[in-house]
Structure 1
Amino acid sequence: MTTNNDPNPDRIAPTAPTDIELAPISSKKNDPFLVAFAEPFDAENPKDWRTGRKWAVTDVLSATGFNRIMVSTIIAPALSTIAQEFKMNSAESAMALSIYLLATAFGPLVIGPLSEVYGRRPILHASNIWFLIWNIACGFANSKELLIASRFLAGFGASAIYSLATGVLGDVWRPEQRGRSLAVYMLIPLLGAAVGMPHHRRVHGRPQWMFWATSIFQVVMILVSFSAFHETYEPLILRRRAERIRRETGDSRYYTADERLQGRRSAWRVLGRALVRPVRLLALHPIIQISSLISAFYYGILYIVLSTFSDLWTTQYNQSVEISGLHYIAIAIGEISGSQICAWLMDTLYHRLKARANGEHSPELRVPSVLPGALLGPLGLFLYGWAAQYRLHWAIVDLGAFITMLGMQITSMPLQAYVMEAYPSHTGSAGAATQFLRSLTAFLFPLFSPRMYQVLGYGWGNSTIAFVGLLVGLPAPLALWVYGAKLRARARGSY
């Protein structure tokens, strides 16, 4: 690797540096031509922005996530109406719902790396417009083929939020603010899935209005994002500063750390390397593999619950469709409570563990926060499953669902923070890699869950999932706690 006082900033680094190796070249002490953020404060550094501006960026992402997640579930209650209108069989109507989730598996693999080449802001705006176009197309679709294709393309654009949120929150908030920022960001999107299901169990009239209504909201979000969302990607902000200094001084020796790393690579080579980065991370980095496995399993459970919860009440408890939708309130409250409790738990444990480590930051300090959720999630599944099996009072079943959602949120948030801090230079690509498996399980798990409950019943069906959750959710975080630092040190560079 080149050093800070290398007189040739265009020299190509002989090896791909890791995130850890980026730190030494991010200092101006030995190189007056290196363009970097000033210490301890720089007004252009997103981490030094005023709090109001940080929350504005976070809120834009949160509201965008709400709409896009709601669109993923809002179609479910109207599937029978849509199937009748478009003459779909059961498999085709299920595909109209799940194809959106399948698109969110592949979209971040492209969108995340693009945000690390062109910046977060243009990718957010482009994905917003893309999603709007194809969501409107869903409303005007006059054939089942066009509807399914439009749903896939809308899902591709909607998937931007998964990689952009990880990247932007990592750009803007410091580690000691991680819990609170994640909790505020997730608060509104968590309502998306729950709002879509119960409300539209009472769908009347043309189902196309679901797409048109969410498109109107999307237009509002596009207008807000153009004014409230600012660029947060550090290498791009610094590159623009370096270009301004070179232009004003006429001295071409000024450069950024990112420009040195790029060297004389062509734009196509830089883009190509960025686009394959999430796949490399998922294939070669045990940290990504372990965290993705845990997150994907619990995300799949979430969609099992979302897709089967109403049927439980209509078949086991003989409740009306309208009343069955009200039970989704327990799911929403569980998720929201989990996110807020986990925020406090994450920040509290982080400060205490960091103090014990003599003030040294380490991504592994996030891991202990995973364990309470890894126990609560299976406990809730046991309660939910056996209460439903024996048709106990509905409040006991809802309590089990509440505990399940609570535990899953407490598990997923620290893992998201861990990935963000283990890959600070490429949080978008790392988030895309983890989202790939999450979206696949959300797509696949609901396909076998009806048959599972039919064969095993709710008691043993949920117990089976809970036992697997204990086998996955406890040893894997412990492995990250013990071996995480060594795995990061041995990992091939994410660059």
Structure 2
Amino acid sequence: MASTPTSISNEPNEVPIASLSETDRRIAVRGDEVDWEGSNDPKNPMNWSEKRRLISVILISIVGFLTPFSSSVSAPATAQIMNEFHTSDKTLEGFVVSVFVLGNAVGPLLFGPASEVWGRSIILNSCNALFVAFTIGCALATSLPMLMVFRFLSGCVGAAPVAIGGGVIADLIPKERRGKAMGIFTTGSLAGPVVGPIAGGYLAQGINWRWSFWLVVIIGGLVSVLVLLVLRETHAPTVLKWKASKIQKHNGGPMLRVPGIKDEPLSKVCTQAIVRPAKMLFLSPITASLSVFQALVFGYMYLMFTTFTPTFETKYGFSLGESGVVYLSLGVGIAITAFTVTQYSDKLMLARGAKKNREGRPEDRLLLMSYGAPMVPIGLLWYGWSAQHQLHFMVPIVGIAFVGLGIMSVSLPGNLYMVDTFTNYAASALAAVTFLRSVAGGLIPLAGPPMFNALDVGWGCSTLAFIAVALCPIPLLLTRYGELIRTKFPVRL
């Protein structure tokens, strides 16, 4: 160890104190808690330039788009897949899509909390590489079981950016400006399942089903390299931990304390991190209720995917490729809501806070959900009965757009609410939501073909609409009582 503050140690694992900042030198001498170089420290992700933060949000949103895109890109080609593997089981045919979404349920429970222990970058880059590798396995599958296994694995690792993305945005964007960033991210994750069948339908019709996966491999490979080269670590405690490690190499003493990181054995930290999403889901009434609502509408979206092709082929004579275009109407509704929420969510929260002489609350985010959620049952009834009576094909397509509007109205404000409420553990909060949402997205569509075969599209959609109506009061109740519930039922994380 160096004998004076200005000497340079000869030991290879030590850092010369001359290379440390004034603040770090003082910390090194007194063994204090490591901290930023003041409130404007450029190494703090919150203080990055606007351009750098915008690029980071766009990159995580692109990766967040790719996983849901991959979930549905093979949906129009499931009949081809069954024919090639000499299988006619309708349940297995639906499971080709569902098994990926079930993988999405498992992955966030691991990778969301892991990013709060080891940082965002290492988890994100590792999972991106594995996602591309497992998707190659899907493209080269020689049997249905092989395809199912690789679909499940790619779904597991592909869920990482969906769970981590909200955490990255919480790392970079202050609460009062978070609406637009979350709008970009959530639009990507919900637009993916909509765009996927359009590309997959034309690829399956023009080439074969394997090119649905090769397309994902090409896009995923390019995006993974871009993220590796451009996106830096955003998790503040991890960045401070690296800083503390650098200082510790100089002074040779015990590791410095890092804000946001508990001074406990790694095994205990990992255990706490892994169970954190489950605690949020089962011990927090607000997390449970919003997760159930999001899970329902997400499951509805995937269930509707199973109805578009048979409905528009049999009732309107659409080709396989033309049926894929129907998904665009869902995307239009999602885009309209995304624009509305990103424009008004932050302003509404600040305005309601100013009106009542307080800071904006997470509950203020849910007002837009209260207005938009009823569009789910309205759109379902519109789509179901107009298609049942074979009105002009644009009539059910408009109804589908209203469903998309409602789905986004539930998802985006709900995610914003979770990030604002559990900012330090935003990745775990979204992991809890994603888990339940993915389970519903994987299982609810399996009920679609038998239900719609028995009830037809009219009464099938009506059944779904009646269930959705029962959950529409949730945002109204949380807007009024959410703060009280958060205070009365705190969750020790």
TM-score normalised over the length of structure 1? 0.88
Equivalent residue letter for 1:487: I
Q: Equivalent residues in 2 for 1:15-414 (5 A)?
A: 33-37=32-36, 40-90=39-89, 91-202=91-202, 203=204, 204-248=206-250, 252=254, 254-259=256-261, 262-263=262-263, 265-414=264-413
After superposition, give the CA deviation of every residue in 1:233-291 in whole Å (9 maximum; x if it has no partner). 111112222333344456658422334xx22x221121122111111221211121011
RMSD: 2.1
| Residues 452-461 or 209-218, more deviating | 452-461
Which sections of structure 2, spanning at least 5 residues, go unmatched? Answer: 1-26
Number of residue equivalences: 462
- Look up the SS of the partner of 1:35 in the other structure: coil
- 1: CA distance, partners of 2:38 / 2:340: 33
Cα deviation per residue 1:145-195 (whole Å; 9 max; x = unaligned)?
Answer: 211111111111111122111111111111122221122223444442222
Q: Deviations over 1:71-129 (max 9, x none)?
A: 11111111122112222232333222211011101110011111111000000011011
- Describe the shift of the 1:257–1:397 C-alpha distance in structure 2 as closer, same or farther (beyond 3 A): same
- Rate the CA distance shift 1:200–1:250 in 2: closer, same or farther, 3 A: closer
Question: In 2, distance between residues paired with 1:254 and 1:318?
Answer: 69
Task: For residue 207 of structure 2, give the secondary structure of its aligned residue in structure 1.
Answer: coil
**8 Å contact 1:134–1:154 — kept in the other structure?**
yes
SS in 2 for 1:201: helix
Note if contact 1:384-1:398 (Cα within 8 Å) is conserved in structure 2.
yes
Q: Is 1:415 aligned with 2:403? A: no
CA contact (8 A) 1:381 1:400 kept: yes
Question: Could you say what secondary structure the match of 1:163 adopts?
Answer: helix
Provide closer, same or farther for how the CA distance between residues 235 and 330 of structure 1 changes in structure 2, counting only shifts above 3 A.
same
Contact 1:297–1:441 (CA under 8 A) maintained in structure 2: yes
- Residue identity in the other structure for 1:146: M
Contact 2:284 2:491 in 1 (8 A): no
* Identical pairs, percent: 30
Distance apart, 1:319 and its partner CA: 2.9
SS in 1 for 2:131: helix
* C-alpha contact 2:34 2:240 (8 A) present in aligned 1: yes
Q: Could you tell me which residue of structure 1 aligns to residue 11 of structure 2?
A: none
**CA deviations over 1:329-355 (Å, ceiling 9, x no partner):** 211211122211121131231121121
> Does the CA-based 8 Å contact 1:239-1:256 persist in structure 2?
yes
Q: Alpha-carbon deviations, 1:276-315, whole Å to 9, x = none?
A: 1111221211121011011111111111222211211112
Measured against aligned partners, the alpha-carbon deviations of 1:352-411 in whole angstroms (never above 9, x if no partner) come to: 112123241321121212111112222222211221122111111111111111122122
CA contact (8 A) 1:342 1:409 kept: no
Residue equivalent to 1:491: 489
Could you tell me whether the CA contact under 8 Å between 1:113 and 1:429 is conserved in 2?
Answer: yes
Taking structure 2 as the reference length, the TM-score comes to 0.89
State the distance in 2 between where 1:393 and 1:451 align.
Answer: 26
**Does structure 1 conserve the Cα–Cα contact (< 8 Å) formed by 2:349 and 2:361?**
no
Q: Secondary structure at the match of 1:358?
A: coil
1:47 to 1:359, Cα distance in 2 relative to 1, 3 A: farther
**Secondary structure at 1:462 match in 2:** helix
Aligned position for 1:24 = none
Counterpart-to-counterpart distance in 2, 1:135 and 1:276: 29
**One-letter code of the match for 1:467?**
F
CA contact (8 A) 1:349 1:369 kept: no
C-alpha separation in 2, matches of 1:432 and 1:153: 17
Q: Tell me the CA shift for residue 494 of structure 1.
A: 4.1
Q: Mind listing any 5+ residue stretches in structure 1 that lack a counterpart?
A: 1-27
Q: CA deviation at 1:430?
A: 0.9
